[in-house]
Amino acid sequence: MKEDVQELWLQSAKNFQQTMVESMTKAFESFQNIDLGEASAKLMTPVVQHPKIKFSPEKLQALQHQYMREAGDLWADSVQGKLTVTDRRFADAAWAENSVANFTAAAYLLNAKTLIQLADAVETDAKTRARIRFAVEQINAATAPSNFMALNAEAQRKAIETQGKSIAQGIQNMLHDIQQGHVSMTDESVFEVGKNVATTEGAVVFENELIQLIEYKPLTEKVHEKPFLLVPPSINKFYILDLQPENSLIRYAVAQGHRTFVVSWRNPDASLAKATWDDFIENAVIKAIKVTQEITGAKSINALGFCVGGTMLGTALAVLAARGEKPVASATFLTAMLDFADTGVLDVFIDEGFVKYREQEMGKGGLMKGKDLASTFSFLRPNELVWNYVVGNYLKGESPPPFDLLYWNSDSTNLPGPFYAWYLRNTYLENNLTKPGKATVCGEKIDLSLIDIPVYIYGSREDHIVPIGGAYASTQYLSGKKRFVMGASGHIAGVINPPAKGKRSHWIREDGKLPKTVDEWLGGATEHKGSWWTDWSNWLADQAGTEIAAPKTYGKGKYKVIEPAPGRYVKAKA
C-alpha cells in the first residue's frame, strides 16, 4: 500500500516538474494583474514585456533531477515520520502534530524553492531575471499554505480551542483594516504624535507651505557654536528620529550639546499637487539652512540627511556650491544615495516605460498617495510586512502588539507628482546627479565634486532600500574629507541603534582609505561592538566648533515660536 501511495506521489511530483516552467511563465505574465494595492499593481505594469522564458537545457535538466530526488526524499521522510520543517511560518507545534499539514508545508517549500531556482536559471539579461525572481517571490509568498484557513493547522487549532471566537475576531479585524485602508501592523490606538512619540521638547520657529522648522530645547548649559540641522526623508515623517526618549537620535544630538533643528515636512494635499523637486530644494532644504543660520547667527552649520533627505541635502549642497556659497560646514549622510547605480530590489520597478507613465500621470500635477508608497515598500518584504499580519490578524484573530516603529511605518505621507516624477527620472532611471552638469536644479548645473566639506557617510549592511554599495558610492563623488562607517541590520534598525542598548556592531576602516567598492573597503575594515552613534558623535563634535552658552529662548527676531514641537504638519494624515 505504501509503495502504491509513494508511486502516486512521485508521479504527481513528476507532473509538477514537467509543467513548472509553463506555470511559472503564465504566472509571471499574469502577475501585473495581482492586486498588491494600487501602487504596486501599477508599478508592475511594465515588468511583463517578455513573451517567452528560455532556459539552458542543461540547467533545466539538472533542476528537474534535483527536484525529483528531493521530492523522493520528502516522501520517504514523511512515511518514516522524520519530516522536519524549519520555516518560521510553520514553526508552531500544530503543524508538526498534523501530518497532512506538515507534509503540505514541506511540499510547498520544495516547490517554492524550485521556482526560485528556475527564475535564477532564466537565460536573459540581469534586470529581466531580477524582475522574474521578484514576481516569483511574490507568488510564493502569497500562496503559502499558512495564508489559508483551510490549510493553516495553527489557525484551525486556535479556532477549535476558542470555540470559533478567533474566527469572529479575525473578521472584525479585517473589517477594521478595510475601513482604515491598510493592514494593521500594530495597535495604532496606543500612539499619539506629541504624546508618546515625537516628545523631545522644542518649538516650531518657522513654517512655509512645505516645511515647519523645529528648534529643540538644549539639555546642556553650553552648546557648540555651529548649530545642527537634520533633514529627514520627505517620503516619511520626521519622528522616526524621535520615537522614544531612549532611542531618539534627535534627543541624543541635543544631549551631546548641539543646538538642534529638524525639518518637519508638510503632508502634501491638493494645494501642493504641482510642487517640484526645485521647490523642495530651494524652499525647504536651502530655506531651512538659511533660517537656521539667521536664528543662531552662525556663519555655517552642520547638517544631516537621512535616506531621501540625504539625496535632497546633497542636491541642495551642490546648488549652493554652484552659487559659490558654503553655509554648511559638514554633512552626515545616513543610508542615503547620491549614486543610483546600485538600487537593489527597487530597480525591478524602474524603466523608461514606467517613468514615462508616471510623468504622463502626474508630472504636471497630482499626488503620489502615501498608502500606495507604503504598500509598495511592504511588498518588498511580503512575508514579514504583509502575510505575517494577514495570518495573525485575520486567520488567528490576534491583535498586533503596540510597537512605535510600526506605528510610524503606517503613518504614511503623500508626494507631489512633479517632485516624484523628477526624482524617478533623474535618480533611479538616469542617475543624473553623478554626471557633472547633466541635472539642472534651481537653475544650477549639479556637480557633486563641488561639495568640498567633511562628510560622514553611514550605510546599513542588510539595507534592502539603500543597498550598502549604494550608500558607499557617495564616497567616490564628494571632494571633502570623508569617513565611511557600516552598521549591522537594515534601513531603519541599523540607523536607530542607541549606544545604551549595546546592540549590533559597526565597521570602521582605521586607515581611512576609500577604495572604489564597498567590498574592497571591507577588506581593511574592523568590527566594533555596539552602536555607531558614539563614533559619529565624536566626529560631529570635531566639526562643531567651540562651546558657547546655550540659548534661553527659541528663535530670534522675526522667527518667533509658532507652536510647541512636534507641530501641526507632522500630525496631518495622508
**Domain enclosing residue 123, as ranges:** 2-161
User: 450 and 320 in one domain?
Assistant: yes
User: 110 and 249 in one domain?
Assistant: no
**β 547-549/526-529 pair status:** unpaired
Measured in residues, the chain has a length of 574
Asked, for residue 421, whether it belongs to a domain, the answer is: no
pTM: 0.88
418's torsion region: left (phi>0), alpha (psi -120 to 50) or beta?
alpha
User: 246 and 155 in one domain?
Assistant: no
Closest by CA position to 332, among listed 543, 143, 489? 543
* Three-class secondary structure of residue 155 per DSSP: helix
User: 214 and 151 in one domain?
Assistant: no
Asked, for residue 300, whether it belongs to a domain, the answer is: yes
CATH number at residue 239: 3.40.50.1820
Q: Give the Cβ contact number of residue 519 at 10 Å.
A: 11
Name the domain count of the chain: 2
264's torsion region: left (phi>0), alpha (psi -120 to 50) or beta?
beta
Question: Which of 105, 136, 161 is the last residue in one of the domains?
Answer: 161
User: 144 and 91 in one domain?
Assistant: yes
User: 267 and 152 in one domain?
Assistant: no
Tens digits of pLDDT across the chain (574 residues): 445 545 544 455 445 444 444 544 444 444 333 333 343 333 333 333 444 578 888 888 999 999 999 999 999 999 898 999 999 999 999 999 999 999 999 999 999 999 999 999 999 888 889 999 999 999 999 999 999 999 999 999 999 999 999 999 999 999 999 998 889 999 999 999 999 999 999 999 999 999 999 999 999 999 999 999 999 999 999 999 999 999 999 999 999 999 999 999 999 999 999 999 999 999 999 999 999 999 999 999 999 999 999 999 999 999 999 999 999 999 999 999 999 999 988 899 899 999 999 999 999 999 999 988 888 888 888 999 999 999 999 999 999 999 999 999 999 999 999 999 999 999 999 999 999 999 999 999 999 999 999 999 999 999 999 999 999 999 999 999 999 999 999 999 999 999 999 999 999 999 999 999 999 999 999 999 999 999 999 999 999 999 999 999 999 999 999 999 999 999 999 8
Tell me what pLDDT residue 574 has: 85
User: 431 and 299 in one domain?
Assistant: yes
Cβ contact 94:101 at 8 Å: yes
**Rounded CA separation 541/534 (Å):** 11
Asked, for residue 411, whether it belongs to a domain, the answer is: no
Asked, for residue 377, whether it belongs to a domain, the answer is: no
DSSP notation for 22-66: HHHHHHHHHGGGS-S-HHHHHHTTTT---S---B-HHHHHHHHHH
Asked, for residue 412, whether it belongs to a domain, the answer is: no
Asked, for residue 189, whether it belongs to a domain, the answer is: no
The label of the residue with cell 521530492 reads 71
Give start and end residues of each alpha helix (H) in 256-324.
277-280, 287-296, 308-322
Asked, for residue 415, whether it belongs to a domain, the answer is: no
Tell me what pLDDT residue 54 has: 82
**Rounded CA separation 265/236 (Å):** 8
Question: Which of 109, 136, 161 is the last residue in one of the domains?
Answer: 161
**Rounded CA separation 376/110 (Å):** 27
User: 134 and 278 in one domain?
Assistant: no
Question: Which of 161, 191, 215 is the last residue in one of the domains?
Answer: 161
User: 231 and 99 in one domain?
Assistant: no
CA distances from 172 to 341, 347, 391 (A): 45, 37, 14
User: 89 and 29 in one domain?
Assistant: yes
Tell me what pLDDT residue 371 has: 87
Catalytic residues: 307
HSE at residue 451, side-chain half, CA atoms within 13 A, is 28
Asked, for residue 210, whether it belongs to a domain, the answer is: yes
User: 206 and 157 in one domain?
Assistant: no
User: 151 and 206 in one domain?
Assistant: no
